[in-house]
Amino acid sequence: MSLLEVEDLRVSFPTRSGVFDAVRGVSFSLGQERLGIVGESGSGKSLTGRAILRLIRPPGKVSARRMTLGDEDLLTKSDKQMRAVRGQRISMVMQDPKFSLNPVMTVGDQIMEAYAQSRRGNRAERRQKTLEMLEAVAIRDPERVFKAYPHELSGGMGQRIMIAMMLIPNPGILIADEPTSALDVTVQMQVLNIMDKLVAERGMGLIFISHDLNLVSSFCDRVLIMYAGRVVESCRADQLYQAQHPYTQGLLDSMPRLDAPRERLSVLERDPAWRHADSGDLS
């Protein structure tokens, strides 16, 4: 069963020199799985994530032939109805916790606020749920962190708090936009571990947006590779290293690898034809 269906998603921005199409006909469906979206900066991967939540500000335009969450149409929803989707049904973790957490509010209050959006209940109950959630994201001392302000916490803790906040309304889908690229590798692994576990336990669908091919191939079930606003290839994550498309191969070859030393790294030669390649039906 698919949780989310996206067909022919387009995002465009008017500029002085004409309309710029940042996302050009992306189609995919998401089930209870970890779907990775990889690509370089400017490939439209983050905009795809934002467009699903209709978070593209005017003058940017989002259009799609179809965008359904379960059996609901996301395209025809009013802004008010969208607010009931954001955070509650689909939530999103951004790259840097420093810019996503409110600096003048304690962590506990912020998470309780997220919880209060979806459920009624008195303060004691909300507090209880928040502490449980903090524990679920492997925060050792939830009571202390509950009362702390974001600047008192490390980046890794901040990111786990973001995840706690996003998961407390129990959404069906989590969109994680480079959730670990601001973190150190060892902390990164902990955060991924937590997301992995929660996704598995709650049967969520995860869209994992990243530029790190290594990470995506080891963490996700399925990968979409984006180039210039299109999906150029889709494959099983563990088969990413056998990818067919020259762009994907070029990206993989240009990465230095610990296990395979090379005198020179091969440099990606971009073929203009990739821009026009058909995204095809890659559901």
Partner 1 sequence: MRIQETCHDSFLLSGIGWTPYRNIYRVDGLHMTQGIVIEGLDVWFGEHAERVQAVKGVSLEVAAGASVGLVGESGSGKSTILRALTGLVSTWSGHLQVDGETLGKRRSRAFYDKVQMVFQDPYASLHPRHSVDQVLSETLALHKLGDVDRRIVGLLEDVGLGRQFRFRYPHQLSGGQRQRVAIARALAAEPSILLLDEPTSALDVSVQAEILNLLSDLREQRQLTYLMVSHNLAVVAHLCESIAVMQNGQLVETLSVQDLRAMQATEPYTRELLKSSMGYVRSTQRADDSQTSPAN
With respect to partner 1, which residue has the nearer C-beta, 41 or 76?
Answer: 41
User: Can you read off the two tokens belonging to residue 107?
Assistant: 């962590």
Q: Is 218 in the site for partner 1 (CB under 8 A)?
A: yes
Q: Is 83 in the site for partner 1 (CB under 8 A)?
A: no
- Cβ 216 vs Cβ 210: under 8 Å: yes
Which of these, 21, 10, 188, lies nearest to 95 by C-alpha position? 188
Among 81, 102, 266, 283, binds partner 1 (CB under 8 A): 266
> CA-to-CA distance for 93 and 236, rounded, in angstroms?
23
Among 54, 86, 211, 245, binds partner 1 (CB under 8 A): 211
User: Can you read off the two tokens belonging to residue 245?
Assistant: 């498309």
Q: Is 158 in the site for partner 1 (CB under 8 A)?
A: no
Q: Which stretch binds partner 1 (CB under 8 A): 13-21, 50-58, 59-67, 134-142?
A: 134-142
Q: Is 250 in the site for partner 1 (CB under 8 A)?
A: yes
Among 32, 117, 214, 249, binds partner 1 (CB under 8 A): 214
Q: Is 186 in the site for partner 1 (CB under 8 A)?
A: yes
Q: Is 93 in the site for partner 1 (CB under 8 A)?
A: no
Q: Is 242 in the site for partner 1 (CB under 8 A)?
A: no
Among 74, 114, 161, 192, binds partner 1 (CB under 8 A): 192
- Cβ 175 vs Cβ 95: under 8 Å: no
Which of these, 120, 198, 201, lies nearest to 164 by C-alpha position? 198
Torsion angles phi and psi, residue 252, rounded to 5: -65, -40
Q: Which stretch binds partner 1 (CB under 8 A): 44-52, 92-100, 188-196, 274-282?
A: 188-196
* Segments of the chain assigned E as strands: 4-15, 18-30, 34-38, 61-63, 66-69, 72-73, 90-93, 173-177, 205-210, 222-227, 230-236
> CA-to-CA distance for 35 and 77, rounded, in angstroms?
25
Q: 95 burial class (0-12, 13-18, 19+ CB within 10 angstroms)?
A: buried
Q: Which stretch binds partner 1 (CB under 8 A): 11-19, 24-32, 65-73, 154-162?
A: 154-162
Q: Is 196 in the site for partner 1 (CB under 8 A)?
A: yes
With respect to partner 1, which residue has the nearer C-beta, 6 or 195?
Answer: 195
Residue 109 CB, nearest distance to partner 1 (Å)? 21
